[in-house]
Structure 1
Amino acid sequence: MQKLMFSKMPLPALHHLQRRAGFGPNKDAMRRSPAGRNDEVEAIFRASRRGKELNLIDFAPAVQPNRKDLSRKARMQLRKERKEALGKLNHAWLRQMATEKAQLREKLTLFWHDHFACEVDHPFGMQDLNNVMRRHALGNFRALTLAVSRHPAMLHYLNNRQNRKQSPNENFARELMELFTIGRGHYTESDVKEAARAFTGWNFDDQGQFIFQAKKHDFGTKTFRGKTGNWGGEDIIYMLLEDRQTALHIAGKLYQFFVNDQIDELHAQELGAVLYDNDYEIEAMMRHLFLADWFWEAKNVAARIKSPVELLVGIMRDLNMDLPEAKPVHGIQSILGQILFHPPNVAGWPNGRAWIDSSTMLLRMTLPSALLLSSDTEFALPHDLMDTGQGNRLKKVRKINAQIDWKPIFARYRTLSPAQRTTTILADLLPASSEHISPAMLQGFVDSHDPESHVTTLFLQVLSLPEYQLT
């Protein structure tokens, strides 16, 4: 164990860490020799001490005018402006994931964005909630849950503004338990009703600040999970986190996101115990995860299917690519099935094999061609997609205008022989478990006389392989 911690780790192992703790290796990692496991893991956390918040959208009042009071033209204009603002916010975050040094913080922000799924028609509110998640991403889960629960976007999304004494709304209380904390099967319908009473009066003002409206709060005695008292909303959250099941539920989801689509119950329980015993400090659990021997086992390499966002951001990092226009980026997310700030429902996006079917696999394997060939390239549609709804959506994504900085890529591979170049590119772009792919097979389809042309063609081939869909 000590030897593994401090001896230099193989480059494929470093790439495994960087794909899981972020969105893929950076070019600095390609040029240097890896340090020991402990040092490389600490470097990941050190880079994520601070994060860069999104500040694209200017403040807007949280309580909006009633749309019924607006003219039809004014309503249409407001809808257009908000749609454009959310599109720009989506674009800004995607680019930040690709370039930000605080990779683990951004990766965890993406996880919490799915875990605490929320969508409101208020761009500043969505930006602010995203920044709350980024701020707490490696902090304390209790503090994160409280901050999200008090946020105007979540209170509006889950109807807690309509939750008042004598007319409680159970939506927020139910999702808090089922999705955000303890998980389905560990609470009763009576618990939902009593928790809803505890959250009555939780609201926000015009400035987007949380307020407690005492006149709307039910101050009566409540019995929640066998405990009776005059409970408020904070009490409910604290009691839920007192139960180890909450730590196990969160740890299981994090295991699937960072380790393997298939949960190993013993390892997930191990993570849950670390989270609970460290008073829900997320960083302590994540450090344990990345230093655990089982994280590095072969069965956990290439064991996750990339989400559409992970796929797109990974391509951007692998190619030193920028996508400067917001609309095509939004279109790509739409056809692949994951649009940032637009979850399908409060449960978030389905993960794992749910990302892949016959049509989405073809779309994913076509994406590198659209991004790589030239800024004038449109999506080349496979014939069996032409008559599908997905094919029609692809046609809407016109000139992508991808901007690729090839210089550092050419510098890494130019001096290698064609055979070495092929082997090295395969190792750099694919998980370590992809050694079964024959470099000779790729060589047979590529003209290797011009080194730069050889590199670009190899990148296109490797990025289009099914194995690239895994991390």
Structure 2
Amino acid sequence: MSLSNRIKNQHLLSRAGFGVSIDDIPHLDKNNNKFLKEIIKASQDTIQPLEVQDPFVENTLKSMNPDERGDMSKEMFSEMNKPKGKAIRMQSGKDIQQLSIDWMHEMVYSKAILREKIALFWHGHFACNVNNSMYEEELLSIIRNNALGDFRILLKEVSKSSAMILFLNNQQNSKKHPNENFGREVMELFTLGRGNYTENDVKEIARAFTGWQVKTGAGFFFNEKIHDTGNKTFLGETGNFNGDDAIDIILKQKQTAVFISQRLYRFFVNENIDASAIQWLSDRFYKNDYNISLLMEDIFSSDWFYNESNIGIQIKSPVVYIGGIRRFLPMTLQNEEVQIVLERLLGQWLFNPPNVAGWAGEKAWIDSSSLMLRLKIPSLIKNDETLDLKPKTDDDVQMGQKEYLQIGPKKKKSGGYQILASVDWSKLLKAIGEKDKTAVLQKMKSLLIQTPDNKIDDAVIMGDKTDEDLIQFTRRITIELMSTPEYQLC
């Protein structure tokens, strides 16, 4: 069955971005190839950096003694009641909250939706949590700047970021006391995948990365004094390798192109991998010298991307779900910080991955509790009700951040949170362009529900409220459609 441009373009927006916005509605019938090129072009512009860090953090870190490293971990600040350490942690926490809010704002309002969507992918791929706003800001800037560029540059810059070196313990990696954590994760999680290297490769790459360190407040530096200058035998090659050499050797392996293609396919296409598609994608990715933009264009221009078996089958991640609602509704959100509460409740708290492997995704996004909350969120937006749930306290994930996670506004008695939003329903109705209730319902279903064989009963959604005007009707059915299990899929 041949799909219309409208269906193809909606599917493209759901995967290359965060769903349809009201500004997209008039353009959904465009030629699909032209629509794709416009999306790619819009994401090639220079990014606006997200700068949220309070000068106090940077100035305090730079004033520290050399042995007072700035990763904010309990190991680095053994006496957390020290005023300096606690003050930095508190301010860093507030700054990271603002970074999360500002990045979500880009996802919702930027025209560069592909860049922000693939940046979200890399954010999980290069999972990192150091509770240091200066280092988190730097890492996000690296990811957003290189999200659609050269994977070689992205990998090297991420690997040299203060956040990653500290998070993966390479600060403690020296020729006298090698630490294998950094090198192992570079191969297992970032490039080759488990089972595609030996334990000896781990030992040898650790030696290559000795000397990669961070100067507090000043970023990456190569400490020659603790670097192992001896020959290393790694992935079949022998030489006096350093960290850059090791990464170049990893990228010579075709398996790296295969692993990255598989990860991107699962994120953008389908959890169930098509071996022939991966073979084709990885061949081209490798031959194109790891050009990410060309790889994404290969995915989104392929016939198999638009197979019905790939449409409406992916569970929206919490960030995609929240961002999608905001993109579609002409909404003013007075308390954007409430999004952080929702991220935590739904299981995808930006800058706080559950572990070094990032978020599991897909079916892990949904359980009985999170599904019920997802179904309730749209009505919270409409009715200005209170969310009488509190995020769980998990200090293994929060890294001590529970000190500053008191955000609101919230009702004093219940302690619940409110979503203070106002929606211009007349603007949405105008964008839909329909004049009667039946037509409005069908248009809204086509825009909000991607599942091909949904079981939504039109008669139930239509209801029997004959006194509703068209705007009231649009408001009600939009919320009802967003409150269905089908809306959780894209």
Q: Do the two structures share a fold, i.e. TM-score over 0.5? A: yes
CA distance, structure 1, for counterparts of residue 80 and residue 272 of structure 2: 50
Is 1:203–1:212's contact at 8 Å kept on the other side of the alignment?
Answer: yes
Indicate whether 1:423 and 2:442 are aligned.
yes
Is 2:125–2:357's contact at 8 Å kept on the other side of the alignment?
Answer: yes
Query: 1:190 is aligned with what amino acid?
Result: N
Deviates most, 27-36 or 118-127: 27-36
SS in 2 for 1:204: strand
| Structure 2 residue aligned with 1:229 | 239
Is 2:388–2:415's contact at 8 Å kept on the other side of the alignment?
Answer: no
- Alpha-carbon spacing, 1:448–1:318, altered in 2? closer, same or farther (3 Å): farther
Q: Which string of whole-angstrom CA distances, capped at 9 and with x for unpartnered residues, describes residues 86-141 of structure 1?
A: 11111111111111110000001100000000111211210111010000000011
Indicate whether 1:463 and 2:482 are aligned.
yes
| Structure 2 residue aligned with 1:23 | 18
- Alpha-carbon spacing, 1:228–1:40, altered in 2? closer, same or farther (3 Å): same
Query: Structure 2 matches for 1:392-403, cutoff 5 A?
Result: 396-403=415-422
- Alpha-carbon spacing, 1:436–1:421, altered in 2? closer, same or farther (3 Å): same
Post-superposition offset of 1:68: 5.4
Query: 2:476 is aligned with what amino acid?
Result: T
| Structure 2 residue aligned with 1:204 | 214
Query: Structure 2 matches for 1:379-398, cutoff 5 A?
Result: 379=387, 396-398=415-417
| Structure 1 residue aligned with 2:397 | none
Is 2:454–2:486's contact at 8 Å kept on the other side of the alignment?
Answer: no
Post-superposition offset of 1:165: 0.7
Indicate whether 1:180 and 2:190 are aligned.
yes
SS in 2 for 1:54: coil
Query: 1:78 is aligned with what amino acid?
Result: I
Indicate whether 1:291 and 2:286 are aligned.
no
CA distance, structure 2, for counterparts of residue 93 and residue 141 of structure 1: 22
CA distance, structure 2, for counterparts of residue 256 and residue 114 of structure 1: 13
Query: 1:256 is aligned with what amino acid?
Result: R
| Structure 1 residue aligned with 2:123 | 113
Is 2:136–2:351's contact at 8 Å kept on the other side of the alignment?
Answer: yes
Is 1:18–1:24's contact at 8 Å kept on the other side of the alignment?
Answer: yes
Post-superposition offset of 1:265: 1.9
CA distance, structure 1, for counterparts of residue 203 and residue 28 of structure 2: 57
CA distance, structure 2, for counterparts of residue 22 and residue 159 of structure 1: 34
Post-superposition offset of 1:78: 3.0
SS in 2 for 1:165: coil
Is 1:204–1:210's contact at 8 Å kept on the other side of the alignment?
Answer: yes
| Structure 1 residue aligned with 2:52 | 56
CA distance, structure 2, for counterparts of residue 403 and residue 269 of structure 1: 48
Deviates most, 399-408 or 236-245: 399-408
Deviates most, 101-110 or 80-89: 80-89
CA distance, structure 1, for counterparts of residue 253 and residue 245 of structure 2: 13
- Alpha-carbon spacing, 1:305–1:206, altered in 2? closer, same or farther (3 Å): same
Post-superposition offset of 1:15: 0.9
CA distance, structure 1, for counterparts of residue 467 and residue 447 of structure 2: 19
CA distance, structure 2, for counterparts of residue 115 and residue 446 of structure 1: 48
| Structure 1 residue aligned with 2:71 | none
Is 2:53–2:92's contact at 8 Å kept on the other side of the alignment?
Answer: no
Query: 1:459 is aligned with what amino acid?
Result: T
CA distance, structure 2, for counterparts of residue 54 and residue 380 of structure 1: 32
Is 2:80–2:86's contact at 8 Å kept on the other side of the alignment?
Answer: no
Is 2:230–2:240's contact at 8 Å kept on the other side of the alignment?
Answer: yes
Unaligned runs of at least 5 residues, structure 2: 69-76, 395-406
Query: Structure 2 matches for 1:124-163, cutoff 5 A?
Result: 124-163=134-173
Is 1:369–1:379's contact at 8 Å kept on the other side of the alignment?
Answer: no
Post-superposition offset of 1:73: 4.3
Post-superposition offset of 1:435: 5.2
- The percent identity for this pair of structures is 38
Is 1:260–1:300's contact at 8 Å kept on the other side of the alignment?
Answer: yes
Is 1:302–1:431's contact at 8 Å kept on the other side of the alignment?
Answer: yes
Unaligned runs of at least 5 residues, structure 1: none
CA distance, structure 2, for counterparts of residue 160 and residue 322 of structure 1: 44
- Alpha-carbon spacing, 1:273–1:397, altered in 2? closer, same or farther (3 Å): farther
Is 1:172–1:196's contact at 8 Å kept on the other side of the alignment?
Answer: yes
Post-superposition offset of 1:432: 5.3
Q: Which string of whole-angstrom CA distances, capped at 9 and with x for unpartnered residues, describes residues 245-281 of structure 1?
A: 1111101110011111222222122211121110000
| Structure 2 residue aligned with 1:241 | 251
- Alpha-carbon spacing, 1:446–1:389, altered in 2? closer, same or farther (3 Å): farther
Deviates most, 399-408 or 415-424: 399-408
Deviates most, 66-75 or 419-428: 66-75
| Structure 2 residue aligned with 1:358 | 368
- Alpha-carbon spacing, 1:401–1:261, altered in 2? closer, same or farther (3 Å): same
| Structure 1 residue aligned with 2:386 | 378
CA distance, structure 2, for counterparts of residue 276 and residue 322 of structure 1: 44
Q: State the aligned residue count.
A: 457
- Alpha-carbon spacing, 1:380–1:428, altered in 2? closer, same or farther (3 Å): farther
Is 1:150–1:202's contact at 8 Å kept on the other side of the alignment?
Answer: yes
Is 2:270–2:310's contact at 8 Å kept on the other side of the alignment?
Answer: yes
Query: 1:378 is aligned with what amino acid?
Result: T
CA distance, structure 2, for counterparts of residue 448 and residue 43 of structure 1: 43
Is 1:164–1:216's contact at 8 Å kept on the other side of the alignment?
Answer: yes
Aligned equivalent of 1:213, options 220, 223, 237: 223
